[in-house]
Amino acid sequence: MYLSRSKKIHISSQVNGYSTVFLSLSIMIILSLILALFQGARIGAVKMKTECVADISMNSILAEYNRELFKQYSLLMVETSYGSGNHSITNTEEHLKNYAQKNFTRSLEGRIRRSQTMTSIYCKDARITGTSYATDNGGAVLNRQILEYMKAEPLEHAIFEAQENTKKLTESGFDTTDVEEMARANQEEIDSIELPTIINEDGEEEEVSLANPADQVNSQKGVGVLNLASSGRIHISEAYANLNEYCSYRAQNKGTGLNDRLELSAVDRLLLEEYYFEKCSRYGKELEKSLLKYQLEYLVYGESSDWRNLEKFAETLLFWREASNLAYILTCQSKISAAEAAAAALAAVCFAPELKDPVKYSILFAWTFAESISDIAILLEGGRVPLFKSDDTWQLGFWEMLSFRNNLGKRDCGSGLYYKDYLRMRLLMTSHEDKTKRLMDVIEMDVRLTPGNGTFKLDHCLDTFCGEISVGTSYGYDTKIERVYGYEE
């Protein structure tokens, strides 16, 4: 019996030993699993926090857009000098790193207590690896932002009228008919005809004077179109800009091509035209915020002064108006008859019948010029001039033509287009590339007039960027996140 009992006790002890080993092994496996899960959770937390901080930091960069650029031109861009005059993307990298560090930093209470968090994460570095600036790809980035802004704006009826008027003008040949060249050729024909000679009071032989009334008008051409049309009755801005200081006249800073592609549709181009008229000043609608007061005229001609830009447009108006007025006057029998009568009388007095036709046309050309200067004066004073003249809208009679400078701007034609309508036509006929680069100049001119923006440069205005944030942890795990952020992303 005793032997049997002892054997039983031995068997029980052996079973208990097996249980202890099994439990120990199980606990080790469970602890390993728990630790693995904890490490995985910690890595996941690091990644999640890094993504959150990246989102906060990069959006904070975008929130630093230039306020004046937005206020005046409704454009959201970060000027990377931040008003310091030091234009470099490294400034933005420093801002990005600073935002990331602040968002990873423990709370004040945690720093005082020196407590450790589950992640123990910190920012190792922050870099910007890709950029897109306003001027990239010939201003495609700038135009993309403009179109985003203008999508909420309906196209005005005026732009469609301008399109139709431009079509009429070109189809009628008014933009290619050089009346002044025709007048010069006609004058050369007159000058080639020898006039008879007479003996004057001093007994000397001299050529008979033609006394062509057209000469009285033609002698005024040297004064200049704008001087003739304004005649000191209107104020013209004397503003001037040193163009070498602005965007289109210097080597531009360029991005990495991150987001600078833009295909413009016909509607897009019309929206851009609307934007120009909404944001830019012109003659008759000057803005205090602007350096050059005639900004739309600058978009067309790119001259350094308001006077010169307005003068160039006045010359364009003269070209168009002379072509239009000549087309009308050559169909108006009463005016042709008046010119023929005067020419016939002069030819008879000079005993040179071959002068009749050239003198007739010289009078018609001079009449056309005088009427065209009158048209420009009306437009400058806020009146209307139709694209095509009629008996009712013609301003100067034969005798008024001879003293046309005393008869300028006294009457409105009663119908037709205003100055802004002709300007819209000329703007439509200007290349998209020229308008874009000159708009960049205008933006820089205006923003630089505001406090803290004296060194503003549009080619350092950031629209889209690729940011890379590298983080480390106190337990040796490192990670990196890269994201592209922009105002239209």
The predicted structure's pLDDT at residue 177: 95
For residue 283, what are the contacts with CB-CB under 8 A and spacing of at least 6?
Answer: 293, 294, 297, 310, 313, 380, 419, 423
266-279 and 432-447 helices cross at what angle (nearest 10)? 30
Is 46 within a domain?
A: no
Is 204 within a domain?
A: yes
66 near 92, Cβ under 8 Å? no
pLDDT surpasses 90 at 376: yes
Is 323 within a domain?
A: yes
Is 477 within a domain?
A: no
The predicted structure's pLDDT at residue 44: 65
One DSSP character per residue, 358-388 reads HHHHHHHHHHHHHHHHHHHHHHHTT--B-SS
Is 343 within a domain?
A: yes
* Domain limits for position 400: 176-241+304-428
Q: In whole angstroms, how far apart are CA 77 and each of 122, 424, 456, 457, 461?
A: 29, 28, 12, 11, 5
Helix (H) or strand (E) holding 122: strand 121-133
The predicted structure's pLDDT at residue 103: 82
The predicted structure's pLDDT at residue 3: 45
The C-alpha R_g of the chain, in whole angstroms, comes to: 40
* Cα 248 to Cα 245: distance, rounded to the nearest angstrom: 9
Highest-pLDDT range among 35-44, 112-121, 363-372, 399-408: 363-372
Average pLDDT estimate for 235-261: 92
Average pLDDT estimate for 10-19: 57
* Cα 428 to Cα 430: distance, rounded to the nearest angstrom: 6
| Nearest in space to 473 (alpha carbons), one of 101, 46, 100 | 46
pLDDT surpasses 60 at 231: yes
pLDDT surpasses 60 at 438: yes
The predicted structure's pLDDT at residue 149: 93
Q: Which pTM was predicted?
A: 0.87
Q: In whole angstroms, how far apart are CA 484 and each of 52, 371, 469?
A: 14, 60, 12
pLDDT surpasses 90 at 234: no
The predicted structure's pLDDT at residue 1: 40
Name the 3-class secondary structure at 197: strand
Average pLDDT estimate for 412-440: 95
Among 31-45, 57-71, 124-138, the least confident range: 31-45
Average pLDDT estimate for 424-432: 97
The predicted structure's pLDDT at residue 33: 75
- Report pLDDT digits (tens) over 292-315: 999 999 999 999 999 999 999 999
The predicted structure's pLDDT at residue 201: 65
In a 13 Å sphere around the CA of 300, the CA atoms on its Cβ side amount to: 27
128 near 93, Cβ under 8 Å? yes
pLDDT surpasses 90 at 443: yes
Average pLDDT estimate for 219-242: 91
For residue 7, what are the contacts with CB-CB under 8 A and spacing of at least 6?
Answer: none
Is 289 within a domain?
A: no
Q: Which residue has the higher pLDDT, 472 or 385?
A: 385
The predicted structure's pLDDT at residue 46: 67
pLDDT surpasses 70 at 259: yes
* Cα 403 to Cα 264: distance, rounded to the nearest angstrom: 50
pLDDT surpasses 80 at 428: yes
Total number of domains in the chain: 1
pLDDT surpasses 50 at 266: yes
Is 421 within a domain?
A: yes
- Band (233; pLDDT cuts 50, 70, 90): confident
- Band (39; pLDDT cuts 50, 70, 90): low
**What mean pLDDT is reported for the chain?**
88
Is 378 within a domain?
A: yes
Average pLDDT estimate for 403-413: 82
Average pLDDT estimate for 15-32: 72
Name the 3-class secondary structure at 88: coil
* Cα 10 to Cα 395: distance, rounded to the nearest angstrom: 134
pLDDT surpasses 50 at 2: no
Highest-pLDDT range among 26-35, 214-223, 247-256, 430-439: 430-439
Q: Which residue has the higher pLDDT, 15 or 194?
A: 194
- Band (161; pLDDT cuts 50, 70, 90): very high
pLDDT surpasses 70 at 483: yes
